[in-house]
Amino acid sequence: MIETNINPENRRKGFFTFKKLIAIIIIAALAISIPVLMARTVPAGYKGVLLTWGEAISIENEGFHWVAPIGQDIALVNIQIQKAEATELTASSDLQDVTTTVAVNYRLEASKVLTIYKDLRNDYEQRVITPNIQEALKATTAKYVATALITQRESVKDLFLNILRSKLSVYGIDVLSVSVTDFQFSPSFTQAIEAKVTAEQNALAAQNKLKQIEYEAEQQVIQATANATATITIATANANATVITANATAQAVEIIQAQLTPEYIQYLYAIGWDGKLPLYWSGNSTTPFIMIPTNSTTGLP
């Protein structure tokens, strides 16, 4: 049997050394972990809310920040453009059921982030945005008959945007734009709309056909009028030409008659005579002579 005698003094020294080693390890761990626990970063597009024992104290801008290792923290609040969508069953002014789907682009006002966080934390979409979208939709669709919700979509969107902005501005939430993505009606009403659209299309087609027939008839009338005008113009031109020709002939006759003096007529006779005397020539007061042919063989008259 081997007996070991340990000096109590050495035992105490060893234990003390062990405690020192543990303390050094703890201090080193704290020295490493405390800066990590105290460091916070606020990224771009966010605001930081400094919390002390859970109470919102101040706003911290983007960048690096220190907080107390115990009792303090920084909560991040998104101030970028965000999108919320909602679908709500509403009623039109003519009491038709309408299921409306909308998309809303919004942004938190940076200057009001502290108040928003105090009142709503980061639950602002579920607590105020979605409920107010639903209320604004009900208020909007109640202003229009069901068919106008489709035919006046831009007007519906503008009214919805104005109502929603008014409701959310009190919370420090800025509504940038809205989009009405879909309207769904009851099956019976949808069938009625389709039947009405079909009837209107058929009526429009018939109206267009009638206009085409009327146009073709007008073209025929215009063509007939043009032909008649052309015929009248040609007949008038021919008549005018005939009158002009007759007038010219009459004027020519008058000119010729004016020039037919006895001397000129005698001249025309002379240049036209072939050397043979006529068998009989009946003279008048203007004719200077009467010629009776003689017998060439006898020389007797």
Sign of torsion, CA 20 26 32 34?
Answer: negative
Class of domain 82-189: alpha beta
Residue type, 125: E
Question: Residue 169 contacts by C-beta under 8 Å, 6 or more apart in sequence?
Answer: 175
Token digits of residue 54: 């859970």
Least confident residue range of 30-34, 104-108, 181-185, 226-230: 30-34
Other Cβ atoms less than 10 A from the Cβ of 98: the count is: 21
- What is the DSSP secondary structure assignment for residue 93, as one 8-state letter? T
- Of the chain, the percentage scoring pLDDT greater than 70 comes to 74
Residue 48 has pLDDT above 80, yes or no: yes
Look at residues 92, 58, 93 and name the one whose alpha carbon lies nearest to residue 74.
58
Q: Where are the domains of the chain?
A: 8-78, 82-189
* Amino acid 301: pLDDT: 45
Q: Give exposure, 165-178, as e/b (b: 16+ Cβ within 10 Å).
A: bebbeebbbbbeeb
Q: What is the pLDDT of residues 108-144, one digit of tens each?
A: 999 999 999 999 999 999 999 999 999 999 999 999 9
- Lowest-confidence range among 49-58, 153-162, 189-198, 232-241? 189-198
